[in-house]
Amino acid sequence: MAKQISEGRKGAYYAGMVLMGIGGLMFLSVFITGAMNFGNFDNFESDARSSMFRAIGGMVLLFIGGAVRGIGAAGLAGSGVVLDPEKARSELEPYSRMAGGMIKDAIDESDIKLGSEPEKVIMIKCRECGKLNKEDSKFCQECGKEL
């Protein structure tokens, strides 16, 4: 249990959730008050302005909240804010442990492939002795027979 999600990240996650909640309510309230004031054009101009403000403010809060929550959940590197694959891996580590190491396995696997993929070598089998020879070789390494 060396690596755990830090308190700061947990805090960011919940703060993001709260921001998203407020943003969502602000956004929804536009429709609710819009429906309530339907047909009432006495304060049309100020209503429209407040609706605009709440709609845009709500969307901005939703957006920021979502971003903050994502950072809290996956860490700065893990959520792609900081491009640092090594850090991302360690920040996502708690999740890979939760998923029974499946994600970690996938990352490890992809690392191996990203590392040094051996070039595909085509070999020719000698018809006499069965020795595998390089594609461009003219004679068998083992028995000297022409390939």
124 binding Zn ion? (CB under 5 A): no
Minimum distance from residue 127 beta carbon to Zn ion (Å): 8
CA–CA distances in Å: residue 31 to residues 27, 36, 41, 57, 61 = 7, 8, 16, 14, 17
Q: Which of 129, 132, 137, 139 binds Zn ion (CB under 5 A)?
A: 129
Residue 143 binds Zn ion (CB under 5 A): yes
By CB under 5 A, is residue 132 in contact with Zn ion? no
Residue listed under structure tokens 């049309």: 44
Per CB under 5 A, the segment of 26-34, 60-68, 105-113, 118-126 that binds Zn ion is 118-126
Rule CB under 5 A: is residue 139 a binding residue for Zn ion? no
128: contact with Zn ion by CB under 5 A? yes
Closest by CA position to 19, among listed 51, 52, 56, 67:
67
> What are the φ/ψ torsions at residue 133 (nearest 5 degrees)?
-115, 160
